[in-house]
Amino acid sequence: MSTLSVREAIYYSAHLQLPDTMLVSEKRTHAEHVIQEMGLDDIMDTRIGGQITKGISGGQRKRVSICVEMLTRPRLLFLDEPTSGLDSAASYHVMSHITSVAAGEGMTVVAAVHQPGEVFELFHSLCLLAHGRTVFLGTVSDATEFFNLNGFPCPCLRNPSEHFLGTINKDFDEEIVEDSRYRRKTAAKAIDTLTNAYQSSAYSEKTTNQIIQMKEMGGAPFRTRERASFCTKLLALTKRSFVNMHRDMGYYWMRFAVFTVACTCVGTVFHHIDNSYNSIQTRCNVIMYMTIFLTFMAIGGFPSFAEDIKVFRRERLSGHYGVTEFVISNTLSATPYLAVMIIIPGAILYYLTGLTRGGSNIAYFVVTLYMCIVLVESIMMVIAAVVPDFLMGIVVGSGVQALMMTNGGFFRLPNQLPKPVWKYPCYYISFHKYAVQGFYKNEFVGQTFASDQLIMANATITGHQVLEALQVEMWYSKWVNLAILFGMAVIYRMMFFAIVKVAEGIRPKMRRMKCYL
């Protein structure tokens, strides 16, 4: 996460991965030791940074990622281009340390390296690939001998790894390579020559025999390493998410400022609404505006949440924690921020407009607004799990909300909506319906308003009559509306959980199908 410092990122990762048998102090000491091993002492308290805020460099970010994976000393460590973004000295330092740790801890390290340089001498085995074809698999010393025997010797004073990669690089096939007999060959022909030679060579037979011997020998049973408990992971994720939301201005603070300004503006425009006949429409306008505007603005935090989803997917694939911990921790950490974001602007609006006074009325208004925001964020979680790009996610989220608003029951009364599709089922699955009707009941029940009938002196209209004219469903209370909104938020969070779980099973199958095709 871009808002965390290097120290914090490794600390939280240690709490997520290391077992509960280790004391908290031991986890912190181990995390600091790993940071020092990667040469990150000087930037421990520097934030990682991202697109908006400047932080550590790309090479340092790469080393932080390696620190996260090396915390548990895994049996198998796969590193994808660990030296990219590093200078030669840093590359050699990092890889030499990984080599020594691997030797001491019994780890197997598989690294994909495109620019080996001096790091090449640290590797024990080499696998050269060219467009999915195995050019060579064996020891480093055998590789040099293999190229020499097949007409592609390494020139003097040249790094063997650079020579190997230059020979089999087919990206610029108009370029040519020369063999020892000064015959000019394209890279494609060189790959064909080396691949065919390797398949029928003693090197291939040697490697195959080693694999067979390893299978026959077997080995110690692979023990599943101890992990942190569910509660430990949940606590660590909640703390990390809370810190991230506090430091990320775009997550809640910018929306809080916009909400406060908007509620102040609406409150001053509709200042001190009286109980005249015209105030009925005014109250409806205030309710409609707040329901639409505040819920629509809730999608503003989607970019920050989309970044959290990326971090979650990477850590989920590494086995750090599950979907359940992520969903619960995100909900718990967001609760206080959402409460502040709604309570203060909502109280300002309620005080300035002079809506129906009463402790229960004010509490219901604020809690319903809060539940609407939670529900919209739940919808955006579902969209984030389906749509990978945050710009596309904002567009899709805006479209979904626009459809729900159309069928919310305030642009057209419920009985005026076309029954196919728009009323059944769209009207009943739109959360705006339950929010607006709950607000209407909260505002008009028990109220009386002056009538506009001139022939009837002192005539009044009751709030119940207003609700009937607005076609509000009166056979259940406003608290049922609130309960329905809560249930819809839970359903959308469960949908997010189900989509992520199903996607985990589908992705490997899709990859296998592509391989078969």
Q: What is the pLDDT of residues 18-60, one digit of tens each?
A: 888 888 888 888 888 888 888 888 888 888 887 777 888 877 8
Query: What per-residue confidence (pLDDT) applies to 194?
Result: 85
> Using 50, 70 and 90 to split pLDDT, how confident is the model at 313?
confident
Q: Is the pLDDT of residue 281 over 50?
A: yes
What is the pLDDT at residue 515?
Answer: 62
Q: Is residue 517 very low, low, confident or very high in pLDDT (cuts 50, 70, 90)? A: low
pLDDT in the model for residue 293 = 81
When pLDDT is cut at 50, 70 and 90, the band that residue 181 belongs to is very low
Q: What is the pTM of this model?
A: 0.80
Q: What is the CATH number of domain 6-213?
A: 3.40.50
Which pLDDT does position 81 carry in this prediction?
A: 83
- pLDDT value of residue 220: 60
How many Å apart are CA 337 and CA 351, to the nearest integer? 22
Q: Is the pLDDT of residue 462 over 60?
A: yes
In this predicted structure, the answer to whether residue 456 has a pLDDT above a threshold of 60 is: no
Q: Is the pLDDT of residue 394 over 50?
A: yes
| pLDDT in the model for residue 185 | 64
pLDDT of residue 472: 87
pLDDT score for 204: 82
Least confident window among 11-20, 170-179, 192-201, 302-311:
170-179
Comparing 364-373, 387-396, 504-513, the range with the smallest average pLDDT is: 504-513
Q: For residue range 101-127, list pLDDT tens digits in order.
A: 888 888 888 988 877 777 888 888 888
Q: What is the mean pLDDT of residues 377-400?
A: 85
Distance CA 438, CA 480 (A): 8
Read off the pLDDT of residues 402-452 as tens digits, 9 standing for 90 and up.
888 888 888 888 888 888 888 888 888 889 999 999 999 998 888 888 877
Residues 483/460, Cβ–Cβ less than 8 Å? no
Given pLDDT bands bounded at 50, 70 and 90, which one contains residue 453? Answer: low
pLDDT confidence of residue 392:
87
Rounded to an integer, what distance in angstroms lies between the CA atom of residue 47 and that of residue 342? Answer: 30
Q: Are 451 and 459 in contact (CB under 8 A)?
A: yes
* The pLDDT value given to residue 458: 62
CA distances 3 to 9, 47, 219, Å, are 9, 6, 44
Q: What is the pLDDT of residue 450?
A: 81
Q: How far apart are CA 514 and CA 517, in angstroms?
A: 5
**pLDDT reading at 186 higher than 80:** no
Low-confidence winner among 212-226, 265-279, 317-331 (lowest mean pLDDT):
212-226
Instruction: Indicate left, alpha or beta for 83 from its phi (over 0: left) and psi (-120 to 50: alpha).
Output: alpha
User: How many other CB atoms sit within 10 Å of the CB of residue 57?
Assistant: 13
Can you tell me the distance from the alpha carbon of 299 to that of 250, in angstroms, rounded to the nearest whole number?
11
Q: Is the pLDDT of residue 219 over 70?
A: no
**349 vs 154, which has greater pLDDT?**
349
User: Is the confidence at residue 283, as pLDDT, over 80?
Assistant: yes
pLDDT for position 482: 93
Angle at 99 between CA 95 and CA 103, to 5 degrees: 170
Closest CA to 338 of 311, 371, 305, 380: 371
Q: List, in order, residues 6 or more apart from 206 with CB less than 8 Å away.
A: 138, 142
CA dihedral 416, 422, 424, 430 (to 10 degrees): -100
Confidence category of residue 489, pLDDT binned at 50, 70, 90: very high
Over its C-alpha atoms, the chain yields an Rg (Å, rounded) of 32
Mean pLDDT across the chain: 83
Give the pLDDT of residue 402: 86
Of residues 295 and 458, which shows the higher confidence score?
Answer: 295
Q: For residue range 244-278, what is the model confidence (pLDDT) as tens digits?
A: 888 888 778 888 898 899 889 988 998 888 888 88
Q: How many residues does the chain have?
A: 517
Q: Report domain extents, the chain.
A: 6-213, 248-516
Residue 351 token pair: 């005080």
The per-residue pLDDT for 338 is 87
Q: pLDDT value at position 235? A: 92
> Worst-scoring range by mean pLDDT, 95-109, 157-171, 186-200, 219-233?
219-233
Please, are residues 393 and 302 in contact by the beta-carbon 8 Å criterion?
yes
Query: Other C-beta atoms within 10 Å of 264: how many?
Result: 14
The mean per-residue pLDDT over the stretch 367-390 comes to 87
Give the model's pLDDT for residue 183.
Answer: 46
